[in-house]
Amino acid sequence: MPHVNHLKDFTTQDLTDILSWAKTIKDNPDDFRSALSHQSLAMLFQKTSTRTRVSFEVAMTELGGHALFLDWQSSNFILTDLAYEIEYLSRNVQVIMARLLHNSDFLTMAAASQVPMINGCCERYHPCQALTDVLTMTEHSDKPLETLHLLYTGVQNNVSNSLVLMADRLGFSLTLATPEPAENQESFDADLQAMITNNPSIVQVADPRDAIVSADFIYTDTWIDMQYFNDPTKHAEKTALVAQMQRFQINADLVAGHELKIMHDMPIHNDYEITETAVRDPRSIIFDQAANRLHAQKGLLYWLLVANT
C-alpha cells in the first residue's frame, strides 16, 4: 500500500501515471463522475490551508466520493496517542490526507494506518504541489517535459524539495537560485541534497540572473514558513529577509525581456518573494497553477484508489 509522503519510493512510471490520470480526468470529467463512489477521504489539518483543503474536497465530490475535514484542535487527535486515532480513522475511510507540522508524525500515522496516507504539506515535503506544478508546466509549453528548464528562486524549503524529487524522476532541468541551505534547517533532507549534487540537470546558483536566460518557467514560494508568517516573534526576521533576499524576488526587473512563465504555489506575500506586478504580468500562470491543484488531486486519488489497486 503506497503512502504519498516524500515520493522517494515512487518510480518515474508511478509519477507519469498519476500525471496522465490527472490530464485524462481533467479532459473527460463526465467519464469519472462516479469513479470514487462510496469512498471517503479524511483530511486532517494541523496548519492553515486554502488550496489543499478546497482542491481535495472538491476532487472527492467531483469523483463521486466524500471528503471530511478534521481540525486538529477540535478533534481528539490533540488528546491521545496518534497511532490509536489513525488506526481508528483508517477503519472508516479509504484514504487520509494530513497537513502536519512534522514529517515524523506522518511516519507514525502511516505506520498505523490501514489505508493510504497523503502528505498535504509538512516542514520538508509538498508532494501534491509538485505534481500540480509539473502538470501545469506540461500544459503551458509545447516542448517535451524533459527539455524544460524550471528556475526556482527563493529559499530551499518543502516546495523546492519536492520539485527536486520531480526533476530527478522526470528528467526536466531545475535550477535552484537560493542561499545554501543549513543542515539544521527544518526542511533539510540529505537525500535530496545528494540529488542536487549528483544530478547534472539540477544545479544551484547564487542569483536567478545566472540562469534566467534559458528558463522556461520561473517559480518562487514564501521566504518564511506559513506557520510563522503572522508570528509577532518573527517580525524582525521577516524585515531582515526583505533586504537579504531582494535579489531572489520575482519582479518586473528580473523578468524583463525574458520569454518565460511565472509560477507561485500561493499563498502570495506581495513585495516579499514576488511583486503584485509580477503576479499580474501576462506571463504569470499562477492562477492556472493553483486551479490545477484540483486536477492533480483527482489524478492522485484515482491512481491510489482505483488504477493502482
Q: Which residues bind ligand CP (CB under 6 A)?
A: 49-52, 121, 129, 265-267
Interatomic CA distance for residues 255 and 281, integer angstroms: 10
- Between 49 and 201, name the residue whose CB sits nearer to ligand CP: 49
* Closest CB to ligand CP among residues 121, 174: 121
145 φ, ψ (degrees, to nearest 5): -55, -40
Q: For residue 299, which of 17, 61, 40, 51 has the smallest C-alpha distance?
A: 17
Cell numbers found for residue 232 = 509577532
Angle at 300 between CA 303 and CA 36, to 5 degrees: 65
Q: How far is residue 72's CA from residue 274's CA, in Å, rounded to a whole number?
A: 31
Q: How far is the CB of 289 from ligand CP (least distance, A)?
A: 9
Tell me the closest approach of the beta carbon of residue 42 to ligand CP, in angstroms. Answer: 16
Secondary structure (3-state) at 215: coil
The continuous run of DSSP H or E covering 117 comes out as: strand 117-119
Q: Please identify, using beta-carbon distances, which residue of 113 and 129 lies nearer to ligand CP.
A: 129
Q: Which is nearer to ligand CP, 4 or 35 (CB)?
A: 4
Q: Is 171 exposed, middle or buried (0-12, 13-18, 19+ CB in 10 A)?
A: middle
Nearer to ligand CP, 32 or 56 (CB): 56
Neighbours of 203 (CB within 10 A): 15
d(CA 18, CA 4): 12
| Contact residues for 2 (Cβ-Cβ < 8 A; gap 6+) | 9, 10, 14, 116, 304, 308
Smallest gap, in angstroms, from Cβ of residue 294 to ligand CP?
12
Q: Between 135 and 212, name the residue whose CB sits nearer to ligand CP.
A: 135
User: Whose grid coordinates read 515520493?
Assistant: 7
Q: How far is the CB of 120 from ligand CP (least distance, A)?
A: 7
CB neighbour class for 1 (10 Å; exposed up to 12, middle 13-18, buried from 19): exposed
Smallest separation (angstroms) from ligand CP to the CB of 226: 6
Cell 477503519 belongs to residue: 91
- Closest CB to ligand CP among residues 50, 270: 50
Listed residue (201, 199, 126) closest to 156, CA to CA: 126
Q: From the CB of 238, what's the least distance to ligand CP, in Å?
A: 18
| Grid cell listed for 275 | 511583486
Q: Shortest distance, CB of residue 243 to ligand CP, whole angstroms?
A: 26
Minimum gap (Å) between residue 256 Cβ and ligand CP: 27
Q: Of the two residues 64 and 267, which places its CB atom closer to ligand CP in the complex?
A: 267
